[in-house]
């Protein structure tokens, strides 16, 4: 007995479209200062781009300097997810990290593009028992298929906006308890 797969495929595609169009980026909330300890500091950062993009979908890898292993991976510009910011496409990320030194890597989700080795590495440090804001990681250019255009990141200071959202979602924290260490910026 042969089964016609077309109705099942159509149903699957319809369900996928509905799911993707209704996606939002949920900002972690309800965190409290007693959740901080020597193995669990909080890093607040945002990722942003001029616009969303499926063909050139980019992620941000965060790797430990000591061994190069990925500690976290966050999306920069998934098309199906509504932005957290009204002025351009971006997301606030509230992440847990062990104390140590880390660096950013741009990673593509598309098999059709790749990145060349960066000319410099952007590093940051997380210290024990802290909440630290490390900036907005803004993707400034997108690769266009096989052309010679490139992608680079710029670290911006969006402290007031990003920490304001963090404090709104996590009212147990106070502004004076949040450190600000933006790579490449002097404080």
User: Given this model, what pLDDT does residue 167 score?
Assistant: 95
Rg, Å, the chain Cα set: 19
Identify the three-state secondary structure at position 24. Answer: strand
User: Given this model, what pLDDT does residue 176 score?
Assistant: 94
Domain definitions of the chain by residue range? 26-180
User: Given this model, what pLDDT does residue 34 score?
Assistant: 78
Q: What is the pTM of this model?
A: 0.77
User: Given this model, what pLDDT does residue 18 score?
Assistant: 40
Query: What does the pLDDT profile of the chain (187 residues) look like in tens digits?
Result: 455 666 666 555 544 444 444 455 577 777 888 777 767 899 999 998 876 665 567 788 899 999 999 999 888 877 777 888 888 888 999 999 999 999 998 877 665 555 555 556 889 999 998 999 999 998 876 555 565 556 678 899 999 999 999 999 999 999 999 999 998 755 4
How far is the CA of 52 from the CAs of 42, 60, 102, in angstroms? Answer: 27, 14, 26
User: Given this model, what pLDDT does residue 12 score?
Assistant: 57
Residue 106 — left, alpha, or beta (φ > 0 → left; ψ -120 to 50 → alpha)? beta
CATH for the stretch 26-180: 2.60.40.1120
């Amino acid at each position: 007995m042969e089964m016609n797969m077309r109705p099942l495929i159509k149903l699957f595609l319809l369900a996928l479209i509905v799911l993707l169009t209704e996606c939002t980026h949920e900002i972690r909330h309800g965190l409290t200062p007693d959740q901080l300890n020597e193995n669990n500091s909080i890093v607040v950062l945002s990722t942003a781009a001029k616009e969303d993009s499926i063909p050139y979908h980019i992620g941000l890898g965060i790797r430990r300097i000591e061994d190069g292993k990925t500690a976290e991976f966050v999306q920069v510009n998934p098309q199906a997810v509504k932005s957290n910011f009204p002025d351009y496409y971006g997301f606030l990320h509230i992440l847990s990290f062990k104390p140590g030194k880390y660096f950013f890597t741009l990673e593509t989700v598309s098999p059709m593009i790749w990145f060349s080795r960066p000319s410099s590495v952007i590093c940051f440090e997380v210290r024990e028992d802290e909440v630290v804001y490390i900036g907005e990681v803004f993707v400034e250019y997108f690769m266009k298929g096989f052309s010679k255009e490139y992608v680079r990141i710029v670290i911006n200071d969006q402290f007031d906006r990003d920490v304001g959202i963090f404090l709104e979602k996590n009212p147990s924290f106070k502004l004076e308890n949040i450190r600000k260490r933006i790579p490449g910026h002097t404080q």
